Amino acid sequence: MKIELKDNKIFLENQGVRKEIHPFWLRERVNGEEHLDQITQQRLFDPTKLKNNIKIDELKLSGDFLEVSFNDGTYNKFSIQNILNEFKNNNYNIKKIVWDSSFKFSNIFYFEKNIFEKKDMYEALAHFYKYGFVIFKNVPTKNNFIVDFANSIGSVRRTNFGEFFNVKSKPNPNDLAYTSLALAPHTDNPYRNPVPCIQLLHCIENEVRGGLSTLVDGYNVSEKLKKDYPDYYKILTETKVRFQFIDENIILENWSEMIELDQNRNFKQVRFSPRLDFVPLINKKKLDLFYAARKKISELYNSDKFKIEFKLVPGDLILMDNYRLLHGRTKYDANEGNRFLQGCYIDYDSTEGKIKHLKKKFNL
C-alpha cells in the first residue's frame, strides 16, 4: 500500500488498485493545533461549514510527510503512515472459533491488581471474542466487587433489576433463576431492547454438589442448523417472535428472530428463552415449520454434544457473550449449603473500547 501523486492529486495504490483520495477527505483530516484538539483528537472546526469545492493547490512529498496547501488557504503536513493507517484494518479483528462439548478450557486467566491495564487483559478479551467467554480466577469475593470489575472494563449496563443481581434461591422469586431448579440453556433478557450484550457472573459461595454451570456455543449450533436443516434455519432467521417479561411495575417486550443475521446474512445474535417467547399467528404451514425448527434447535442447545458443564468455585468470574452463548445450570439442593453468585451486564462498547485501547497501548 502506498501513496502516489500526480497533477495535484493524491492516489492510494493498494494491491494493484488505484484510488484517488478526495481532497475534502484530506481537508477534514488537517491536524494542526488550530484545527484539531491535540488531546481529544476532536476537530476544532465544523467540516459541514467548509465550502464544497475544496481542491489542492500545492502538494509536496517530503520524507514521511505529505505537505498540502488547500484552496481555502489551509496548509497541513500529514504523516503518510497516519493516512495509510486509515486503510488498514485497525479493528481488533478476532475470528470466532466454534466449540462443542469437547472444548478444553484454554481461556482461563488469573485476576491480579491492575489487570485491567495489563497485556493479560488484552489476551483475556481476545479469548472472549474467540470463544464467546473467558473465566477469571481468584477475583476477590467481596460483595458487589462485580460492579467494580465491570466498570474497570467499561460501564455497567444498569437494568430494572438494578446495577447487579444476586443469584441465590429466595422466597417468591420473580424469575426461575432465583430458585434451586435446573435452568436449561438460555440467553438472558431477550425481551430487552437492546438485549444486554455481555453477562458477568461472579461466584461468591458454592457449597452445593449440584448447581454446575452450563454453556453452549449458540453460534456453533446455528451453523450446524444451517448446514443440516436449512429450512429450519431459514424460518428461525426470518420469523420475529415476541419476547416478554412482566413484573409488578414494568412490561418489557421485544420482537426479534431466534437467530438474527446481519445485513450480509451472517450470524449476529441468538435468542433463546422458551418460557417467554410468543410467535405471532402466521399461516399454519409456516407455523408447523417454525415449531419443528424451534424443537430441533432446542434439542441441539440441550444436547450433550454441544454443552459444557463445570463447577464455578468462589473467586471465579465468567464474562460471557449473551449474543452468542447460552448459559444455564444443573439443579441443586439448597439444603446442602450456600450457593451465591452475583451478576451484571456490560455492552460491547465496553469490551471493544478496552481491547482497542490495550491493542494500541501495547502496540499489538
> Residues interacting with Fe ion, by CB under 5 A?
188
- Residue 189 or 222 with smaller CB distance to Fe ion: 189
Give the side-chain half-sphere CA count within 13 A for 189: 21
d(CA 100, CA 103): 6
- Residue 177 or 241 with smaller CB distance to Fe ion: 177
Query: What Cα–Cα distance (Å) separates residue 203 from each residue in 35, 129, 141, 291, 349?
Result: 50, 22, 7, 36, 25
Smallest gap, in angstroms, from Cβ of residue 357 to Fe ion? Answer: 29
- Residue 219 or 272 with smaller CB distance to Fe ion: 272
- Residue 188 or 217 with smaller CB distance to Fe ion: 188
- Residue 57 or 277 with smaller CB distance to Fe ion: 277
Note whether 327 and 320 are within 8 A (CB): yes
- Residue 178 or 348 with smaller CB distance to Fe ion: 178
Smallest gap, in angstroms, from Cβ of residue 329 to Fe ion? Answer: 9
Smallest gap, in angstroms, from Cβ of residue 198 to Fe ion? Answer: 13
Smallest gap, in angstroms, from Cβ of residue 28 to Fe ion? Answer: 45
Neighbours of 322 (CB within 10 A): 25
Residue whose beta carbon is closest to Fe ion: 188
Residue type, 149: F
Smallest gap, in angstroms, from Cβ of residue 186 to Fe ion? Answer: 6
Smallest gap, in angstroms, from Cβ of residue 318 to Fe ion? Answer: 12
Note whether 173 and 179 are within 8 A (CB): yes
Burial class (CB within 10 angstroms; exposed 0-12, middle 13-18, buried 19+) of 352: middle
Burial class (CB within 10 angstroms; exposed 0-12, middle 13-18, buried 19+) of 267: buried
d(CA 129, CA 127): 5
